[in-house]
Structure 1
Amino acid sequence: MTRALIVIDVQESFRADPLWETISDPKIADKVNRLVRLARRAGDLVVWVLHSEPGSGGAFDPALGHVQLMEELEQPQDGEPLVRKTSHNAFTTTNLQQLLTERGVRELAVCGIRTEQCVETTARLAGDLGYQVTFVVDATATNPVAHRDAPAGLSVAELLADPRTLAAEEIIRRTEYALAGRFATIATVDELEAATGLPA
């Protein structure tokens, strides 16, 4: 086993936030499930990551009950680690690198929420650590992002009405440009399925 799929923060916390209505792909779990099934059929490791902010009182505070995998996701099987992080990337506050090293993993596919935040940050760090990284761009999702000078606490309507807001589609496009040829190979779920030749 030299490859692993890292599923990052596909969790109910995001649906508990009003911004969920602006998510670029509300059915992201469907594409992630395809990757999980593909990885399992290939004998690759699947690692599940959840983001946690204990004591924050927000949607990522475990005390509120939202820090769990989205209900429609394939659920972890025996031997598939589930790690909880408190940093943006999936390495710094977890034992992820140890898990991968123990299993001889050198190639990673990454997917999840949000494209430019936890998924991209994980891909960048993994690349710097020497992993061969595939960023499965259409199995990521994100929200529009407010301009740096926008006031804090914007409502969804205010965020979308601000002409300075960066659209989710533009964020995803920018992430592809930032990662490709530097930190990761960009791929789609369809491309990975086609490359394996395994039945869907």
Structure 2
Amino acid sequence: MKKTALILVDIQNDYFPNGRMELYETEKAAANARKLLDFYRSKDMQTFHIQHIFPSPDAPFFVEGTEGVEINEAVSPLEGEIVIQKNYPNSFRETHLLQYLQEADIEHVVICGMMSHMCIDATARAAVDLGFQCTVIEDACTSPDITVHNRTIPAIDVHDTFMAALGSLYADIKTTETYLELVQN
């Protein structure tokens, strides 16, 4: 089996109820991410927490120093787990993620977290472009409703469309249950 790392992308308070940018069913996605995190911790496997911080205090969410920018308690990093701060959707852009993965001889990344249509998509595509095998855990990710041309596209449709697109060439798309059954056997 290839050496694998878990990447938890932007599971931060502003995406949860009462946050500045609430997404669809964040608690469900975070609970599934926690199952993955628990498995990785139990096997002492490499885990990376990604934390998006907007550099401007005028940003609509993820403002440094606010409660909203903090990683949600459902997946709080333990002492010694790596937290990588980023300012862009792609978790590799202007961060040390690639360096950490290379230093750990990681060949396969498992990605979950927030904003399927933005940060999950950008990170998964970058991972593959950088030579990693990639799995996205679809029920540990979520999106918001988005609007284009005065038409609102429901979050579940946004999410499903991006999972289908990633699954066509970039990533193996699994549910939490399917993935954990596969790796536990």
- Percent of aligned pairs sharing the same letter: 26
Amino acid corresponding to residue 63 of structure 2 in structure 1: D
Alpha-carbon distance in 2 for matches of 1:36, 1:123: 18
Query: Is the contact between residue 24 and residue 168 of structure 1 (CA under 8 Å) also seen in structure 2?
Result: no
Secondary structure in structure 1 of the residue aligned to 2:68: coil
Alpha-carbon distance in 1 for matches of 2:101, 2:28: 28
Aligned to 2:120: 119
Is 2:34 the partner of 1:33?
yes
Q: Which has the higher strand share?
A: 2
Alpha-carbon distance in 2 for matches of 1:183, 1:129: 11
Is 2:17 the partner of 1:2?
no
Larger radius of gyration: 1
1:99 positional shift: 0.5
Query: Is the contact between residue 28 and residue 140 of structure 2 (CA under 8 Å) also seen in structure 1?
Result: no
Secondary structure in structure 2 of the residue aligned to 1:72: helix
Alpha-carbon distance in 2 for matches of 1:49, 1:76: 10
Any idea what the Cα deviations from partners look like across 1:127-175, whole Å, max 9, x if unmatched?
A: 111100001000001111011x34xxxxxxxxxxxxx211111112111
Query: Is the contact between residue 54 and residue 63 of structure 1 (CA under 8 Å) also seen in structure 2?
Result: no
Is 2:168 the partner of 1:166?
no
Segments of 5+ residues of structure 1 without an aligned counterpart are 151-163
Secondary structure in structure 2 of the residue aligned to 1:127: helix
Superposition TM-score, scaled by structure 1 size: 0.84
Q: Mark the CA change 1:23 to 1:52 in structure 2 (over 3 Å): closer, same or farther.
A: same
* Aligned residue among 46, 56, 69 for 1:67: 69
Segments of 5+ residues of structure 2 without an aligned counterpart are none
1:185 positional shift: 0.4
Any idea what the Cα deviations from partners look like across 1:77-110, whole Å, max 9, x if unmatched?
A: 3432101000101000211000100110110000
Superposition TM-score, scaled by structure 2 size: 0.90
- Report the RMSD for the aligned CA atoms in angstroms: 1.7
Amino acid corresponding to residue 160 of structure 2 in structure 1: R
Alpha-carbon distance in 1 for matches of 2:129, 2:57: 31
Query: Is the contact between residue 8 and residue 111 of structure 1 (CA under 8 Å) also seen in structure 2?
Result: yes
Alpha-carbon distance in 1 for matches of 2:28, 2:171: 24
Is 2:177 the partner of 1:177?
no
1:64 positional shift: 2.8
